[in-house]
Structure 1
Amino acid sequence: MKSEGFEGCVGFIDGTTFPLYQKPGFDGEIYFDRKKPYSLNAQIVCDCDKLIICFMSGWPGSCADSSLYKEMGLHVNHEFFLIKGNI
């Protein structure tokens, strides 16, 4: 990633939402987010070659990206996702 101006970067993490057709019948309000009426939240992790190495979805749209990051366990088990020597 040095050539792109991100020296020392070993990957990327980003969250996104996927819109739902309608409000879920059970606990529907927790799926309401700030961008779309109702959605699911997902978090995607790519390595330095832009290959997806981890994907987590199914959380309500109102969940913060930081909550998904903690549940994913990447901050605790990063060596599971990253090649030794790139950390």
Structure 2
Amino acid sequence: MLKEISIAEAMRKLPSIIYDVEAGMPVRLTRRGKPVAVVLAINEYQRSEPEKEGFWDAFMAFRKTLEKENIEQSESDSDNAC
């Protein structure tokens, strides 16, 4: 169950809110009765983030795609590469 509190109350009770969040109870913050943010435990946040691929991993995946499709880089293409 999502606990909901105002930003003003959250400012007064921040340590208590952090304990609740760490215990697995996310908190929805409201401003004038409207939801504006959610406080999550770090493990919940990390689970919701898409895994980011590094440049080198993306480049190697691209190269494998080229190999599978039998696309070759010509000499003129490599001469123009940065």
Q: Shorter chain as normaliser: what TM range?
A: under 0.3
Greater percentage in strand: 1
Bigger relative contact order (CA 8 A; separation at least 6): 1
TM-score (norm 2): 0.26
TM-score (norm 1): 0.25
**For the pair shown, which has the larger CA radius of gyration, 1 or 2?**
2
